């Protein structure tokens, strides 16, 4: 069946979710008729060029129910007449009993508005992320008597209670997720229908990432005027391991010449800057904040080494397969990361990059020193990583499954 979809996102557009924007544009190109539903208004001051190419209509639901009470009331008056409303509210009340939070109340209010305002020709509701967006999609789909599906990623899987994941998987039509670790975990929770859960790497649209043009530098950390440029792109949150990275950098030999460029916003930004000052390495770090993809690509070109010290956060949150690692490798940039989640599915240690155990300051320091001082190794790993990522992680190769799920051909509409 060829679907007309409403795609539910937590916020749109977002600089940190280029993988979602890339998927939306690809679905547009192969002819999916869809609209975007956002639970929140955008907070980023910039957007990526890719966002300008997406022409779907966007419906912003009430971010907080008290802000648009008449809209919520009108939705309740109309949706309570629908056949699926009674079933939906019973499911929601059971969820609320186990999760007595304002967020759970807000989800049902947003779901009523979504169900009420949903275009009449929509045949499928699809959510990105298995926590809040999937809850809103699920309640709305039940109210309307429609199927629903989901793309699951990282935090939404590993920080959600298992009872909620199991129940969502019980009535979902299908789900895709971006790592084998995610697939195994969710299939174990899927009861009698593990086949609903499918592996779908995000992949990259290589039309946006040209092959490396510049020569590899021979910087080896021995010249104060030519520091080795380290680049890291990621939100300043616990799971990215930036506190571990800063500690590892602070233990490098003082005579070693390096400079770290960090791109990304995040709640821990100020704390990390203060930490860098206490460790006496703040003068070697450039904090750029959130940037457009154009700026990020330009920084890949001039960097010598990409570093991402991902770890499992205290609440269980972790990366899936970070797109920035694939992006860096597509530019021939050698990568140093950790054995977390699906990172080893992308990087083979000492073949296409270097991996250390997460949270291990000494191991990260040793790997950093080795890579900073060995430009030949950086070049070897960078070239091997670029070859593999372009052969194995093309977005076009992974689009066929998603196209099939939406009832489409993966061939672009011309």
Task: Examine the domain organization and report whether 21 and 132 are in the same domain.
Answer: yes
State mean pLDDT over 191-206.
89
In a domain, 85, yes or no: yes
In a domain, 211, yes or no: no
Task: Examine the domain organization and report whether 134 and 250 are in the same domain.
Answer: no
* Separation CA 283–CA 226 (nearest Å): 15
In a domain, 344, yes or no: yes
Condensed to tens digits (0 to 9), the pLDDT of residues 136-163 reads: 999 999 999 999 999 999 899 999 999 9
pLDDT at 208: 79
* Separation CA 24–CA 137 (nearest Å): 17
In a domain, 163, yes or no: yes
In a domain, 218, yes or no: no
Task: Examine the domain organization and report whether 11 and 131 are in the same domain.
Answer: yes
pLDDT at 414: 45
Above 80 in pLDDT, residue 397? no
Whole-angstrom CA distances from 343 to 120, 201, 204, 338, 353 are 42, 12, 15, 7, 11
pLDDT at 60: 98
Task: Examine the domain organization and report whether 80 and 145 are in the same domain.
Answer: yes
Beta-strand relationship, 124-128 and 58-60: unpaired
Task: Examine the domain organization and report whether 15 and 95 are in the same domain.
Answer: yes
* Segments forming the whole domain that contains residue 309: 228-392
Lowest-pLDDT range of 48-57, 104-113, 334-343, 394-403: 394-403
- The tally of domains found in the chain comes to 2
Condensed to tens digits (0 to 9), the pLDDT of residues 67-110 reads: 999 999 999 999 999 999 999 999 999 999 999 999 999 999 99
- How many CB atoms within 10 Å of residue 223? 11
State mean pLDDT over 397-405.
86
Using 50, 70 and 90 to split pLDDT, how confident is the model at 412?
low
Output the pTM of the full model. 0.81
Task: Examine the domain organization and report whether 194 and 60 are in the same domain.
Answer: yes
In a domain, 283, yes or no: yes
Where is pLDDT greater, at 205 or 13?
13
In a domain, 217, yes or no: no
Nearest to 55, CA basis, from 27, 95, 80, 83: 27
Task: Examine the domain organization and report whether 138 and 282 are in the same domain.
Answer: no
State mean pLDDT over 366-387.
98
Mean pLDDT of the chain, nearest integer: 94
Beta-strand relationship, 197-199 and 174-177: parallel
* Separation CA 112–CA 48 (nearest Å): 31
Using 50, 70 and 90 to split pLDDT, how confident is the model at 392?
confident
Task: Examine the domain organization and report whether 32 and 127 are in the same domain.
Answer: yes
**CATH number of the domain residue 306 falls in:** 3.40.50.2000
* Separation CA 196–CA 202 (nearest Å): 18
Task: Examine the domain organization and report whether 197 and 93 are in the same domain.
Answer: yes
Task: Examine the domain organization and report whether 193 and 232 are in the same domain.
Answer: no
Task: Examine the domain organization and report whether 247 and 160 are in the same domain.
Answer: no
290 class by beta-carbon count within 10 Å (0-12 exposed, 13-18 middle, 19+ buried): buried
Beta bridge partners of 260: 230, 285
Task: Examine the domain organization and report whether 381 and 347 are in the same domain.
Answer: yes
In a domain, 132, yes or no: yes
Condensed to tens digits (0 to 9), the pLDDT of residues 267-326 reads: 999 999 999 999 999 999 999 999 988 999 999 999 999 999 999 999 999 998 899 999
């Amino acid at each position: 069946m060829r679907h007309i979809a409403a795609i539910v996102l937590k916020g749109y557009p977002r600089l940190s979710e280029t993988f979602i924007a890339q998927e939306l544009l690809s679905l547009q190109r192969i002819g999916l008729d869809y609209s975007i539903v956002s639970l929140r208004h955008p907070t980023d001051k910039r957007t990526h060029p890719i966002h300008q190419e997406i022409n779907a209509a966007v419906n912003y639901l009430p971010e907080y129910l008290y802000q648009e009470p008449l809209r919520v009331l009108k939705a309740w008056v109309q949706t309570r007449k629908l056949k699926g409303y009674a079933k939906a509210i019973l499911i929601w009340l059971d969820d609320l009993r186990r999760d007595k939070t304002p967020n759970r109340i807000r989800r049902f209010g947003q779901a009523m508005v979504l169900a009420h305002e949903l275009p009449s020709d929509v045949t499928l509701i699809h959510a990105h992320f298995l926590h809040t967006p999937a809850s809103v999609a699920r309640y709305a789909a039940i109210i309307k008597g429609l199927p629903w599906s989901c793309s699951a990623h990282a935090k939404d899987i590993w920080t959600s209670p298992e009872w909620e994941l199991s129940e969502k998987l019980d009535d979902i039509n299908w789900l895709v997720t971006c790592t084998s670790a995610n697939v195994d975990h969710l299939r174990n929770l899927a009861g009698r229908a593990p086949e609903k859960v499918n592996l779908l790497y995000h992949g990259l649209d290589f039309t946006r990432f040209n092959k490396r043009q510049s020569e590899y530098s021979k910087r080896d950390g021995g010249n104060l005027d030519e520091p080795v440029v380290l680049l890291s792109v990621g939100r300043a949150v616990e799971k990215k391991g930036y506190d571990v990275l800063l500690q590892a950098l602070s233990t490098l030999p003082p005579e070693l010449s390096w400079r770290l460029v960090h791109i990304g916003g995040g709640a821990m930004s100020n704390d990390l800057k203060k930490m860098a000052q206490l460790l006496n390495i703040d003068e070697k770090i450039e904090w750029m904040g959130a940037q457009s993809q154009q700026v990020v690509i330009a920084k890949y070109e001039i960097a010598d080494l990409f570093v991402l010290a991902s770890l499992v956060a205290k609440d269980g949150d972790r990366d899936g397969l970070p797109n920035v690692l694939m992006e860096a490798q597509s530019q021939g940039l050698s990568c140093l990361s950790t054995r977390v989640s699906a990172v080893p599915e992308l990087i083979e240690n000492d073949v296409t990059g270097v991996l250390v155990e997460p949270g291990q300051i000494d191991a990260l320091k040793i790997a950093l020193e080795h890579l900073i001082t060995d430009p030949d190794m950086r070049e070897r790993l960078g070239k091997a990583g670029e070859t593999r990522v372009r052969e194995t992680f093309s977005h076009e190769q992974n689009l066929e499954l998603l196209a099939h799920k939406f009832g489409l051909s993966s061939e672009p509409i011309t």
